[in-house]
């Protein structure tokens, strides 16, 4: 059945993922650089990535084979109505599917899912800048190799339907400009970054420091969308919980809620607040920033802070900073967020749909999201489900 037919318009899922091939980080990396960057190790019969010389346990199954089924935790994120231990849900494994690794197979699945297209992001790739941060050169070497793997296996624009975002880091300002030029030359229509302050050879700096202006100027000129996707942003728990990213659930008495559950929302709140306070959206008026898989509950607090600063520093902003924010930022709510509230806050033309498929936190089937859109008018629903994403995937040179 053509599930988009009842809507009267196509749907683009702005948050999909691949699972990285075994050699995604190493195929285009000099093996001699492995100890500084990424290499494999086998421990007690299980393969792990060694990142910057340290075993990474960010995910317990870095080969993704077997892998938990898409959306197996969807009920848990709806409030766990059946009071099921999430560990039991993620233990339901299956062999890795071809569509997680191959664009031709993925295109067939898009047809089955009733999707016109999707935006595709890393899985492990969103986690590895943080553990490498103390070696900025290794960060750049790692992601240069990674982006060449991505271009080779997926391409940055597969048949106009699968738009894969190369990963950019600001660990080296000159590298960032060079890599941006390369991905633009390869046909990239999006780039993806983490919500975190990069560590450079001169220390940790705001992404909106003057030293990065050449990068942001080129982004502005090219008119390419910057997707800030959930990942390991290095957000500190300040002693209230163990730091370090772990995309799993710990069993036994050690599994309990902590403030780490809110690290992703804290990271994007600080990133988007900072980009606005720094005047970046006024300095570079062609910037388009999309927040993906970071939720939207931070918006009310962020808007209050922006308006409070505007009152305390009259004249600093040329207009209401919330209006500046809304002009340049698009938000993908968590699928369990209240969509109507987010549309009221941002405007329907600044909200995008993303299912997180095929991750464990995803919707089992992307268009399971359609009931959430019922409160919207048909015109607003089309913006959220298709038009806004289509606009973001189109370069708009200055």
Whole-number pLDDT of residue 295: 97
Neighbours of 97 (CB within 10 A): 18
The verdict on whether omega for the bond into residue 358 sits within 30 degrees of 0, i.e. cis, is: yes
- For 316, phi then psi, to 5°, come to -65, -45
Task: For residues 190 and 392, give the distance between their C-alpha atoms in angstroms, rounded to a whole number.
Answer: 8
Collapsed DSSP state (helix, strand, coil) of residue 308: helix
The segments of the chain whose pLDDT lies below 50 read 1-4, 249-253
**Is residue 192 a contact partner of residue 156, using CB atoms and an 8 Å limit?**
no
Mind listing the domains of the chain with CATH numbers?
Answer: 12-30+68-392 (3.20.20.140)
pTM of the full predicted structure? 0.95
Whole-number pLDDT of residue 1: 31
> Locate tokens 């009152």: which residue?
311
The verdict on whether omega for the bond into residue 66 sits within 30 degrees of 0, i.e. cis, is: yes
Contacts (Cβ under 8 Å, ≥6 apart) of 21: 27, 101, 149, 153
Whole-number pLDDT of residue 75: 77
Q: pLDDT tens digit string along 10-46?
A: 999 999 999 999 999 999 999 999 999 999 999 999 9
> Locate tokens 């299912």: which residue?
355
Whole-number pLDDT of residue 250: 46
Whole-number pLDDT of residue 254: 53
Token digits for 29?
Answer: 């990396």
Whole-number pLDDT of residue 252: 39
Whole-number pLDDT of residue 90: 76
* pLDDT > 90 in the chain, percent: 84
Whole-number pLDDT of residue 91: 78
Task: For residues 138 and 129, give the distance between their C-alpha atoms in angstroms, rounded to a whole number.
Answer: 9
> Locate tokens 């002693």: which residue?
239
Element (H, E) at 220: helix 213-222
- Mean pLDDT over each residue of the chain, to the nearest integer: 93
């Amino acid at each position: 059945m053509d599930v988009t037919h009842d809507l009267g318009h196509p749907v683009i899922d702005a948050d999909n993922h691949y699972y990285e091939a075994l050699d995604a980080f190493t195929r285009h990396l000099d093996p001699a650089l492995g100890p500084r960057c990424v290499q494999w190790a086998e421990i007690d019969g299980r393969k792990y990535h060694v990142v910057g010389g340290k075993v990474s346990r960010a995910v317990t199954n870095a080969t993704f084979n077997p892998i938990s089924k898409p959306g197996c935790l969807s009920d848990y994120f709806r409030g766990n109505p059946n009071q099921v231990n999430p560990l039991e849900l993620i233990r339901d494994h299956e062999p890795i599917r071809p569509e997680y690794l191959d664009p031709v197979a993925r295109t067939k699945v898009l047809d089955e899912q009733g999707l016109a297209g999707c935006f595709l992001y890393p899985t492990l790739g969103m986690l590895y800048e943080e553990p490498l941060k103390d070696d900025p050169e290794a960060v750049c070497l790692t992601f240069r190799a990674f982006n060449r793997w991505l271009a080779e296996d997926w391409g940055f624009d597969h048949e106009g339907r699968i738009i894969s975002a190369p990963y950019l880091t600001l660990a080296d300002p000159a590298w960032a400009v060079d890599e941006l030029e390369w991905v633009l030359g390869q046909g990239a229509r999006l780039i993806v970054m983490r919500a975190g302050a990069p560590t450079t050879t001169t220390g940790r700096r705001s992404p909106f420091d003057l030293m990065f202006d050449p990068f942001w100027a080129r982004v502005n000129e090219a008119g390419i969308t910057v997707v800030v996707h959930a990942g390991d942003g290095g957000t500190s728990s300040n002693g209230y919980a163990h730091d370090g990213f772990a995309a799993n659930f710990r069993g036994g008495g050690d599994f309990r809620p902590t403030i780490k559950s809110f690290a992703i929302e804290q990271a994007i709140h600080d990133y988007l607040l900072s980009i606005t306070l720094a005047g970046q959206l006024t300095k570079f008026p062609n910037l388009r920033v999309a927040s993906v898989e970071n939720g939207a509950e931070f918006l009310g607090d962020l808007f209050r802070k922006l308006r409070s600063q505007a009152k305390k520093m009259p004249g600093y902003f040329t207009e209401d900073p919330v209006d500046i924010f809304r002009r340049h930022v698009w938000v993908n709510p968590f699928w369990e967020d209240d969509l109507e509230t987010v549309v009221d806050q941002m405007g329907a033309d600044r909200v995008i749909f993303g299912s997180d498929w095929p991750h464990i936190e995803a919707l089992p089937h992307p268009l399971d999201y359609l009931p959430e859109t019922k409160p919207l008018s048909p015109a607003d629903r089309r913006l959220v489900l298709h038009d806004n994403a289509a606009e973001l995937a189109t370069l708009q040179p200055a």
